[in-house]
Structure 1
Amino acid sequence: MDAPHTNAFKRQLETQRADLLAQIAQQRGGIASRAEVAAEHFSHNEDSDAQVNTARDLEFALNEHETAELAAIDEALARVTAGTYGQCTDCDATIPDARLSAAPEAARCIGCQEKAERHPH
C-alpha cells in the first residue's frame, strides 16, 4: 500500500482512537471506573444485590469490549509503523480497501477472519 493511502487510514485510526478514549472518559465521568459508577448508581437501599451485580457485570463487559477495541486500533497503528498495514496477519494477502474503510483496525482478510471466528484459539 502506498504511503498516501496508508496515511489516510492512519489518520482514520488516530481519530477513531481519540474518539474512543473521549467516549470512555465521558462515560466514566472522569477518573471513576465503570464499576464504581455502576455501584454508585445502584447503591440505594431499594436496589437488590442482583441489580447491583447485573449493572456491575454490564460495566465490566463494556470496559472489556472498549479495551479490546482500543488494543485493535493500537495494533493497526503498529502495523502502519512496521509497514505491514493492509496485509492479512494470517495469510499475508492484501486486505481490500473496502474492508479497511469499514474497519480500519482489521488485521485479517475476510476469509481468515471467518476462519478465526469459527475456530477461536
Structure 2
Amino acid sequence: MSEPVCPICDSKEHLEYESRYECVVCGHEWAKEETDEPEQARVVKDAHGNVLADGDIVAMVKDIKLGGTSDVLKTGTKSKPIRLVEGDHEISCKMNGVSIALKACYVKKVTEK
C-alpha cells in the first residue's frame, strides 16, 4: 500500500486516525479511502440467467419499439457480436443495421452450432 500524501501541500507527514488522516504541515484533514475490498467485476445476465460476455450473440425475447422511430425489434431478431457497457442499458450492439443499447432482460444468449 502506498504512503498517503496530503492533497493540499503534498506532504507525506500525517497523523492517522480511525477514519481520516491529518496533515502535520498544513492541518488539512481527509478521509481514508476504503481499499480493503477489491472491486468485483460486473456480471450481466440475460433473460434466462445466462452470463453474457463481450462478443456473444443475443436474440430478442420480446418485441421492443425503438424510441423516436416507427421501427420494432421483433422477437428472435439476432444481433451482431455485443459489447458490454456501464449504465442502465448494459448491452451495445447492432440489430438490423442499427446501433442500439439494450437492457439484458430483453435478450437471450444464442449458442451457434
**TM-score where L is the length of structure 2:** 0.27
Q: Could you say which structure has the larger radius of gyration? A: 2
Higher relative contact order (CA 8 A, sep 6+): 1
Select the structure that is richer in strand: 2
